[in-house]
């Protein structure tokens, strides 16, 4: 490859500029390789992580939401659904899904009844992100967190 580049430059450029052009050509070649290989590596890792998370989380295990012992949450990556199970005396409960920057992506106001399971669709959200399920009553009390 290097010989071919030198051969092409010999015909196109005078002797004074050969070294400058050669350096630029090599730099462009290296940059083109980086732009071709790096996005593929990122895509491979992202899809691999998503598959690994899906395989781990299909067991439908329920976890107690930190700070709220009467609330449990479970996520099903295959169906892209989040289940929240309530056993609380609050009249109104705010359920929010936030991203790593605390931006609210999903917000629902729920009027829970005893032993209620509430379902939230996560369709459209990338499933390999670190989301937080944030639950609190209308006064902001009893905040609970569940890391998805």
Q: Let me know the angle formed at the C-alpha of 66 by 76 and 138, rounded to the nearest 5 degrees.
A: 95
| DSSP string for residues in 48-80 | HHHHHHHHHHTT---EEEBTEEEEEEEEETTTT
Listed residue (128, 126, 122, 129) closest to 81, CA to CA: 122
pLDDT value at position 62?
58
Could you tell me how far CA 139 lies from the centroid of its own chain? 30
Cβ density class 57-78: b for 16+ within 10 Å, e for less: beeeeeeebeebebbbbbbbbe
pTM: 0.49
pLDDT at 41: 44
In what order do the strands lie in the sheet containing 68-76? 63-65, 68-76, 81-86, 116-121
What pLDDT does residue 60 have?
A: 47
Overall CATH class of domain 63-147: mainly beta
Task: Name the residue with higher pLDDT: 87 or 107.
Answer: 107
**Most confident of the following: 7-11, 26-30, 137-141:** 26-30
Residues 6+ apart with CB under 8 A from 53: 77, 127, 128
Give the CB-side neighbour count of residue 17, counting CA atoms within 13 A.
Answer: 8
In angstroms, rounded to a whole number, what is the distance separating the alpha carbons of residues 46 and 57?
A: 17
At 59 the pLDDT is 38
SS3 133: strand
Confidence band, pLDDT 50/70/90 cuts, at residue 3: low
Domain spans of the chain? Answer: 2-57, 63-147
Residue 78's pLDDT is what? 77
- Tens-place pLDDT, residues 91-112: 777 888 887 777 888 888 888 7
């Amino acid at each position: 490859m290097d010989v071919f580049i030198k051969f092409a430059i010999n015909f196109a450029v005078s002797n004074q500029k050969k070294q400058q052009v050669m350096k630029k050509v090599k730099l462009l070649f290296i940059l083109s390789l980086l732009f071709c290989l790096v996005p593929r590596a990122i895509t491979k890792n992202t899809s691999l992580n998503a598959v690994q998370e899906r395989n781990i989380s299909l067991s439908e295990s329920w976890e107690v939401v930190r700070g709220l012992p009467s609330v449990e949450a479970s996520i099903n990556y295959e169906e892209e659904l989040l289940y929240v199970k309530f056993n609380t005396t609050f009249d109104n409960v705010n359920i929010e899904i936030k991203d790593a920057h605390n931006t609210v992506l999903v917000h629902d106001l729920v009027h829970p009844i005893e032993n209620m399971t509430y379902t939230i669709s996560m369709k459209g959200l990338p499933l390999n992100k670190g989301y937080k399920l944030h639950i609190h009553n209308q006064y902001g009390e009893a905040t609970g967190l569940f890391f998805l």
